[in-house]
Amino acid sequence: MTRGLWDREMVAMLLLLALMPMALTWLWFGGAEAVGRLLFVLLISGLWHVIFMLARAQPPSFAGALTGLAVAMLAPQELSLLQLVLGISFGSVMAELIFGGWGRNVLNPATVTIAFLGFGFPAAPWPDFALPVAWAAIPALALGMLLGVMSARLIAGALAVILIAWLADLPIAPVLPAFGVVLALLVTDPVTSASTRTGGWLNGALYGALVTLFAFGWGHGAPVQVAVSAALLASLAAPLLDEIAIALWTARRRRRHG
Amino acid sequence: MFGPAFSAGLVFPHDRVPLQSENPVEVLTEEAALTPSPGEELRVEALVGEDELVAQGQPLLRLRNAPQVALVAPMAGRIASLDLKSGRRLSQLLLFHEPDGGRHLFETGNAEVDGNALRALLQSSGLWRMFRSRPFGRMPHADEAPAAIFVMAVDSRPGAPAPSLALEGREEDFSRGLAALSQLTKDRLFLCEPAGKHFGGAVPAGLSRISCGRNHPQGLAGIQIHRHRPAAPEIRVWDIEAEDVADLGALLATGLLPGTRLVSVTGSALRERRLVRCQHGADLRGLSQPVVRPGAHEILSGSALDGRPAHWLGARDRQVTVSPRETGAVKHHWFGTALRKAARHLPVIPTAALDQAMGGDMPAAALLRAIASGDEETAVRLGALSLVEEDLALADYATGARPRLSKQLRIILNRIEAEEAPA
Neighbours of A174 (CB within 10 A): 12
- d(CA B202, CA B175) in angstroms, rounded, equals 6
Mutate to test the interface with A, among B351, B354, B399 (most CBs of A within 10 A): B351
- d(CA B88, CA B124) in angstroms, rounded, equals 20
Neighbours of B183 (CB within 10 A): 18
Contact A103 B396 (CB under 8 A): no
Question: Environment class of residue A238 by beta-carbon count within 10 Å: exposed (0-12), middle (13-18) or buried (19+)?
Answer: buried
**pLDDT tens per residue, range A224-254:** 999 999 999 999 999 999 999 999 999 999 9
Prior bond of A177 cis (ω within 30°): no
Residue (of A191, A185, A186) closest to A101 by Cα position: A191
- d(CA A193, CA A170) in angstroms, rounded, equals 26
CB of B11 less than 8 A from some CB of A: no
Q: How distant is the alpha carbon of residue B227 from its chain centre?
A: 19
Contact A58 B353 (CB under 8 A): no
Dihedral, CA of residue A249, residue A252, residue A257 and residue B1, to nearest 10: -80
- d(CA B405, CA B409) in angstroms, rounded, equals 6
Contact A7 B346 (CB under 8 A): yes
Put the strands of the sheet holding B59-63 in their side by side order: B44-46, B59-63, B70-72
E-assigned strand segments in chain A = none
Contacts of B77 by beta carbon, 8 Å cutoff, 6+ apart: B32, B53, B54, B95, B96, B97, B98, B101
Directed axis angle between helix B364-372 and helix B389-399, to 10°?
100
Closest chain A residue to the Cα of B395, Cα to Cα: A4
Partner residue opposite A57 with nearest CB, options B343, B381, B397:
B343
Contact B353 A6 (CB under 8 A): yes
B132 and B222 in contact (C-beta within 8 Å)?
no
CB of B190 less than 8 A from some CB of A: no
Contact B346 A152 (CB under 8 A): no
Closest chain B residue to the Cα of A193, Cα to Cα: B350
pLDDT category of residue A2 using cuts at 50, 70 and 90: low
Mutate to test the interface with A, among B208, B349, B382 (most CBs of A within 10 A): B349
- d(CA A183, CA A204) in angstroms, rounded, equals 9
- d(CA B406, CA A233) in angstroms, rounded, equals 35
Distances, alpha carbon B227 to alpha carbons A133, A257, B9, B299, B383, in Å: 44, 10, 14, 33, 9
- d(CA B391, CA B379) in angstroms, rounded, equals 14
Q: Is the pLDDT of residue A125 over 90?
A: yes
Secondary structure class of B9 (helix, strand, coil): coil
Q: Which helix (H) or strand (E) holds A123?
A: none
Q: Is the pLDDT of residue A1 over 90?
A: no
User: Residue-wise pLDDT tens for chain B (423 aa)?
Assistant: 344 446 788 888 888 899 988 899 999 999 999 999 998 999 999 999 999 999 999 999 999 999 999 999 999 999 999 999 999 999 999 999 999 999 999 998 888 888 899 999 999 999 999 999 999 999 999 999 999 999 999 999 999 999 999 999 999 999 999 999 998 886 789 999 998 888 988 888 889 999 999 898 999 999 999 999 999 999 999 999 999 999 999 999 999 999 999 999 999 999 999 999 999 999 999 999 999 999 899 999 999 999 999 999 999 999 999 999 877 677 889 998 888 888 888 899 999 999 999 998 899 999 999 999 999 999 999 999 999 999 999 999 999 888 899 999 999 999 999 998 775
Partner residue opposite A58 with nearest CB, options B343, B353, B365:
B343
Contact B363 A11 (CB under 8 A): no
**pLDDT tens per residue, range B359-385:** 988 999 999 999 999 999 999 999 999
Secondary structure class of B261 (helix, strand, coil): strand
CB of B392 less than 8 A from some CB of A: no
Q: Which residues pair with B415 in a beta bridge?
A: none
Q: From the CA of B386, how many Å to the nearest CA of chain A?
A: 13
For chains A and B, count residue pairs whose Cβ atoms are closer than 8 Å.
90
Q: In chain B, which among 295-324 make CB contacts under 8 A with chain A?
A: 304-305, 323
Domain ranges of chain A: 8-120, 139-257
Contact A4 B350 (CB under 8 A): no
Q: Is the dihedral of CA B55, B60, B62, B63 positive or negative?
A: negative
Contact A100 B344 (CB under 8 A): yes
Q: What is the mean pLDDT of chain A?
A: 94
Contacts of A12 in chain B (CB under 8 A): 349
ipTM over 0.85? The verdict is: yes
Q: From the CA of B64, how many Å to the nearest CA of chain A?
A: 36
For residue B418, is it left (φ>0), alpha (ψ between -120 and 50) or beta? Answer: alpha
B297 and B325 in contact (C-beta within 8 Å)?
yes
Domain ranges of chain B: 334-420
B60 and B43 in contact (C-beta within 8 Å)?
no
Q: Which residues pair with B149 in a beta bridge?
A: B189, B238
Contact A57 B352 (CB under 8 A): no
HEC letters along A75-117: CCCCCCHHHHHHHHHHHHHHHCHHHCCCCCCCCCHHHHHHHHH
Q: Which residues of A touch B (CB under 8 A)?
A: 2-9, 11-12, 53, 57-59, 100-101, 103-104, 148-149, 151-152, 190-191, 195-197, 242, 245-246, 249-250, 253, 257
